[in-house]
Structure 1
Amino acid sequence: MTDEAQLRWMALGDTTRRPAVVMLHGGPGLPDYLGDVAAMVADLAPVYRYDQRGTGRSPWRGRHSLARHVDDLAELLDAWNVSKAVLIGHSYGTNLASRFCLAHSDRVAAMLLMCGPFVGDWRSGDRAERDRRMSAAQQERLHALEELPDRTEEQEVELLTLAWFTDHADPERGWHWAAQGARRRRPVNWTMNGELGREGRADPLDAHLAELRACLPARTEFLGGADDPRPVTALESLALRLDLPLTRIEGAGHEPWLEQPDTVRAHLRRFVQGAMGA
């Protein structure tokens, strides 16, 4: 990067084809985890992914800002010789995609927003649904782990498993996926998470929706899990405000490709084929 940070990126498919697909992982503070999703469409278009600065194999210890992360994506597109990209964001990646579109709409060919962004007062509904999916003992243990000033490796894995298993529609399989993710998506950059979270609350995407609607590419869609603890009604409301289609994946939560892979694969392939054709 121009500030000498180093970002690790990966590509699948024929990188001479255009436009390219760029997948933006969530967090903030997690390394990339969208390899299985990228493989669903890599025969249709080149697919790029990267560890956002400060995560995975992209080391960074400076201050984090939303503007810097937007600039990172623009610099990566330059490095890949991609003038316009099909952006597929997941969770926090949908916020990053939206803010990138606000700054560089001329570089976005199409955009698929999976399980986000969430605007308005969605957190109270999310918290209530997570509490409903957890036992009292699990809630107590999670709060206790969150309060620890320092956590061991096993305590960190336990905390993440408890925090993430409620993301899924099926609690038993959800526990397995959460425990697996808690060991693979490490370490979590809690500093990055806090800094970008505070900036996002100080300058919410909600305040830019009129501007966003005006600059969105013609092919923009939402995809959400019907059983995501984050209320799908919040996505429905946002889709109405932006006049965009929303597809609900039944029987799936915040990572719908895990619980309904065939349905998600079919949707992604239709979307990417349409974007490549356009």
Structure 2
Amino acid sequence: MVLLHGGPGLPDYLGELAPMVADLAPVYRYDQRGTGASPWEGRHSLERHVDDLAELVEHWGAAEVVLVGHSYGTDLAARFCLAHPGRASAVLLMCGPFVGDWRAPYRAERDRRMPARERERLGALESLPRRTEAQEVELLTLAWFTDHADPERGRARAARDAGRRRPVNWFMNAELGAAARADPLDARLDELRACLPQRTELLAGVADPRPVSALAALARRLDIPLIAIEAAGHEPWLEAPAAIRTHLRTFLRTALAQTGTAPASPVPGDGS
């Protein structure tokens, strides 16, 4: 299993997911180029990031690969399948990819969850040409706390993550964002449907400010199931860890069964 973190421009933050399934199969995580421990100077492209994933899978010697993408990581997983059909044996798309006109309802819901003074403060911080360390943490906290179902706990989680998911590669974020707008997945959904493995699912947090209706429409277009996690937002493993653990294990076990691969070791205490 390969975990693909979001951003773009953030270092890997999916360490809490790996132990949920590490007894079933090897789990790989990596910092995308230009983030965390993966330094990079130069231009970013979606093609380069897809090639990075392909080269890593080859390096790891993975005969069968199960992809789990979160947020922007779902876009990366989808584009990998387009470029390398048949290479992934199963794909779980968690809280993305969002296609169609989803940004306006997302911003409206985010603004509804955020007091007016904080909306003004967020806008002021975003407009600064340079930010101090404290201002960067404040900006990320404001930008992220509305992603959670519980706003108060979400604020604490966002403040914690704003301090440790650093530094943000804003240059990479801008370049890949522009690349995605120039080559949107929206225009390639029929092709993507043909390239996705049989075992492909979408998973959404019901309380994600990004419209779950957009993921429901995508699921219909791709003819894949959508699993909705109650009382969870954009990072559902933080607010519904038991539900996510159960689903990840079921998903991976089914994928292993379809490929005729046995789990790496006995599975203790998971109710099976």
Q: Is the pair's TM-score, using the shorter chain for normalization, greater than 0.5?
A: yes
Q: Percentage identity across aligned positions?
A: 72
TM-score (norm 2): 0.94
Gaps of 5+ in 1: 1-20
Greater relative CO, 1 or 2 (CA 8 Å, sep 6+): 2
Contact 1:84–1:106, Cα closer than 8 Å, also in 2: no
- Counterpart CA distance in 2 for 1:119 and 1:38 is 27
Are 2:231 and 1:251 equivalent residues in the alignment? yes
Q: Please give the root-mean-square deviation of Cα atoms over the aligned residues, in Å.
A: 0.5
Partner of residue 115, structure 1: 95
- Displacement of 1:84 in angstroms is 2.7
Corresponding residue SS for 2:21: coil
Work out which of the residue numbers 18, 36, 40 in structure 2 matches 1:56. 36
Partner of residue 269, structure 2: none
- Displacement of 1:107 in angstroms is 1.0
Work out which of the residue numbers 155, 165, 168 in structure 1 matches 2:145. 165
Partner of residue 175, structure 1: 155
TM-score (norm 1): 0.92
Partner of residue 204, structure 1: 184
Work out which of the residue numbers 232, 239, 248 in structure 2 matches 1:268. 248
Deviation by residue 1:42-87 (Cα, 9 ceiling, x = unmatched): 0111100000000000000110000000000010011101133100
Work out which of the residue numbers 36, 40, 45 in structure 2 matches 1:65. 45
- Counterpart CA distance in 2 for 1:133 and 1:152 is 26
**Count of residue pairs the alignment pairs up:** 258
Corresponding residue SS for 1:35: coil
Deviation by residue 1:151-206 (Cα, 9 ceiling, x = unmatched): 00000000000000000000000001100110110000000000000010011001
Are 2:123 and 1:143 equivalent residues in the alignment? yes
- Counterpart CA distance in 1 for 2:155 and 2:209 is 15
Are 2:237 and 1:220 equivalent residues in the alignment? no
- Displacement of 1:215 in angstroms is 1.2
Map 1:101-112; keep pairs closer than 5 Å: 101-112=81-92
- Counterpart CA distance in 2 for 1:137 and 1:179 is 18
Letter in 1 for 2:77: A
- Counterpart CA distance in 2 for 1:140 and 1:215 is 43
Map 1:223-242; keep pairs closer than 5 Å: 223-242=203-222
Partner of residue 93, structure 1: 73
